[in-house]
Structure 1
Amino acid sequence: MTTERIPLFCDIALAERIERVEAQLTAACSDAARRRRSDTTGFVIPIAGGVASFAEENSPFNKVAGLGFGGVPTADELGEIERAFATYDAPVQVELAHLADPDLVAVLSDRGYRLESFENVLGLALPSPVDHAPPAGIEVRRGDDELESWLEMMADTAAHPDDQGVPWHEEFPRAAYISATRDLLGAGVTRYVALRNGEMAGGANYRVRDGVAQFAGAGTAPAHRRHGVQTALLTARIVDATAAGCDVAIVTTQPGSKSQQNVQRQGFDLLYTRAVLVKQP
């Protein structure tokens, strides 16, 4: 007899927990951007269980995250955040989990929000049996030095995305990407570096909250792709998340992407999809 692995099931309670920590991370990164600049530009506004955030121009943290698990926002609440984004001539981007309150779709559609894209949230139940040994020639360590080189390498990975699957619906200038990555670190995110034959080959980020290990910002330099770098980075973070007592690890990918394929090979299951809804100022 063989024992088949049972896929991780995502109920509304788990989705709410994941979306809550995602909203907390968005808010923390937005606050980190203001500390980095030493000014008061931007905002973080709580709304219906989530947050509306504007960090700075071209930041990936300009969005509404975690919405739909704390009731449906009122017209006044939505109007407040729409005016806040309009102050910076920025669109309102809502990342809405399909397990959120279904009434939200009609509410947002009636206010002129337009569906632009989707992204997938995948999860791995912990503890999970993984092969701790990285592929030959690859070493993974927590990044405690070489910050500037690591940032430049990560920007290079973002500038040359894989062409498999649905592309990300938005692109960021190199300087904005580096600033946003600094803000992740300023929000308490741990960075990892992967070395292949002694050369910096890839990197990734990791954060733990409420029993959820968030795997984010993973990338491999183009010259080192298809050599197991991402597998090594995933494994290292799974080991650390298990040691930290987390019961689930999560990662967000584009549908049908190489990243999704990689994490599913490591045992991650598709939990839910987020719709990205945008209203122009």
Structure 2
Amino acid sequence: MNPQHMPLFCDIELAERIERAEAQLITKGSEAAHRRKGDGTGFLKPMSGGVAAFAEDDSPLNKVAGIGFGGVPDAAALDEIEHAFADRGAPVLVELAHLADPAIGALLTERGYRLTSYENVLGLPLAGEYARVEPDGIDVRPSGDEEFERWLEVVVDGFAHPDTQGVPSHEEFPYEAVAAAVRDLVSAAGMRRYSALRDGTVVGGASFRTAEGVAQLTGAATAPGHRRRGVQTALLTARLADAAASGCDIAVITTQPGSKSQENAQRQGFHFLYTRAVLMKQS
């Protein structure tokens, strides 16, 4: 087999690095929400190499992320986290990579957590220069502050209308909560934003951030009336080119299993790395 077409192998070390970047992302967004709200209701608690985060009511940042590579949490730590979410009327959502310590999944199941869904993490090695692809009529550029509101509208609207192909998403959040979370992530997590224009109008938006050599591709969306025209490909290749130029050795993207987003990513050379199981315990 041609080495260029060899599947990217994800060992525990790589998964840990990606999950650590994810925990950092959730932490930074949650910290921004806490500063914005200023009411003391949010929290961040370290857990098993990851973090348990509550940003604000109904936020998509409310979760336990990045765990499983720093030991198995004890009963007291889990009690504290479960009580903290319950005090805020929120369920505990745990995203657990299948390469994490398997004892954690068994422990959570014993405590009454139930499996609700999965999400896939895909990766692409970055080496040398990466070519940008811009279909006719589509122009991708860094997104300036003057068009932030339009960029935000496109990205949040895309989140509200996810893929219909593949396994449905378990996530449903109010529009305002998603918009607030995206604002917080942009302000605090070092996001680089991109807009896709068609006939001078912003019709797509995307972002990425870097951490420990990992380029996390986040927030890509296309306005419904402009889909199937190559906007996502243009946004993806622009971010990959800049991520490679910034020194990242791998780009990662999270998708719903069997979704159009996963299909598009794999067409661009992304490899399946691992699955996260999403487990929930009601307060």
User: C-alpha deviations, 1:106-141, integer Å up to 9, x for none?
Assistant: 100000000000000000001266432311111111
Moved more, 159-168 or 70-79: 159-168
Looking at structure 2, the residues matched to 219 and 163 of structure 1 have their Cα atoms a distance apart, in angstroms, of 14
Moved more, 55-64 or 148-157: 148-157
**Closer, same or farther: CA 82–172 of 1 in aligned 2, 3 Å:** same
Which secondary structure does the structure 1 equivalent of 2:273 belong to? strand
Amino acid at match of 2:223: A
Looking at structure 2, the residues matched to 268 and 129 of structure 1 have their Cα atoms a distance apart, in angstroms, of 16
User: C-alpha deviations, 1:189-229, integer Å up to 9, x for none?
Assistant: 22211112222111111100100000011111111111110
**Closer, same or farther: CA 236–108 of 1 in aligned 2, 3 Å:** same
Number of residue equivalences: 281
Match of 2:253 in 1: 251
User: C-alpha deviations, 1:7-35, integer Å up to 9, x for none?
Assistant: 21100000000000100110110001112
Are 2:186 and 1:185 equivalent residues in the alignment? yes
Which secondary structure does the structure 1 equivalent of 2:60 belong to? coil
Amino acid at match of 1:16: E
Looking at structure 1, the residues matched to 59 and 279 of structure 2 have their Cα atoms a distance apart, in angstroms, of 17
Q: What displacement does 1:37 show?
A: 2.3
**Closer, same or farther: CA 202–128 of 1 in aligned 2, 3 Å:** farther
Looking at structure 2, the residues matched to 23 and 167 of structure 1 have their Cα atoms a distance apart, in angstroms, of 24
**Closer, same or farther: CA 3–27 of 1 in aligned 2, 3 Å:** closer
TM-score with structure 2 setting the length: 0.96
Match of 1:120 in 2: 120
What percent identity do the matched residue pairs reach? 63
The Cα RMSD (Å) is 1.4
Q: What displacement does 1:2 show?
A: 6.4
User: C-alpha deviations, 1:159-212, integer Å up to 9, x for none?
Assistant: 222311111101111111110110111222222111122221111111001000
Which secondary structure does the structure 1 equivalent of 2:100 belong to? coil
Are 2:220 and 1:222 equivalent residues in the alignment? no
Looking at structure 2, the residues matched to 36 and 112 of structure 1 have their Cα atoms a distance apart, in angstroms, of 34
Match of 1:154 in 2: 155
Looking at structure 1, the residues matched to 86 and 183 of structure 2 have their Cα atoms a distance apart, in angstroms, of 26
2:279 to 253, 277, 280: 277
Q: What displacement does 1:3 show?
A: 6.1
**Structure 1 runs of 4+ with >4 Å offset:** 1-4
Match of 1:209 in 2: 211
Which secondary structure does the structure 2 equivalent of 1:161 belong to? coil
8 Å Cα contact 2:208-2:239 kept in structure 1: yes
Alignment of 1:23-172 (within 5 A): 23-127=23-127, 130-145=130-145, 146-172=147-173
Match of 1:11 in 2: 11
Moved more, 204-213 or 141-150: 141-150
Looking at structure 2, the residues matched to 25 and 221 of structure 1 have their Cα atoms a distance apart, in angstroms, of 25
Match of 1:195 in 2: 197
Q: What displacement does 1:4 show?
A: 4.9
Looking at structure 2, the residues matched to 3 and 211 of structure 1 have their Cα atoms a distance apart, in angstroms, of 22
**Closer, same or farther: CA 165–128 of 1 in aligned 2, 3 Å:** farther
**Closer, same or farther: CA 232–131 of 1 in aligned 2, 3 Å:** same
**Closer, same or farther: CA 129–5 of 1 in aligned 2, 3 Å:** farther
8 Å Cα contact 2:131-2:241 kept in structure 1: no
Match of 1:267 in 2: 269
8 Å Cα contact 2:129-2:244 kept in structure 1: no
User: C-alpha deviations, 1:137-156, integer Å up to 9, x for none?
Assistant: 11111111211121122222
Looking at structure 2, the residues matched to 276 and 162 of structure 1 have their Cα atoms a distance apart, in angstroms, of 18
Match of 1:237 in 2: 239
Looking at structure 1, the residues matched to 195 and 130 of structure 2 have their Cα atoms a distance apart, in angstroms, of 19
Q: What displacement does 1:101 show?
A: 0.2
Unaligned runs of 5+ in 2: none
Looking at structure 2, the residues matched to 106 and 133 of structure 1 have their Cα atoms a distance apart, in angstroms, of 45
Which secondary structure does the structure 1 equivalent of 2:84 belong to? helix
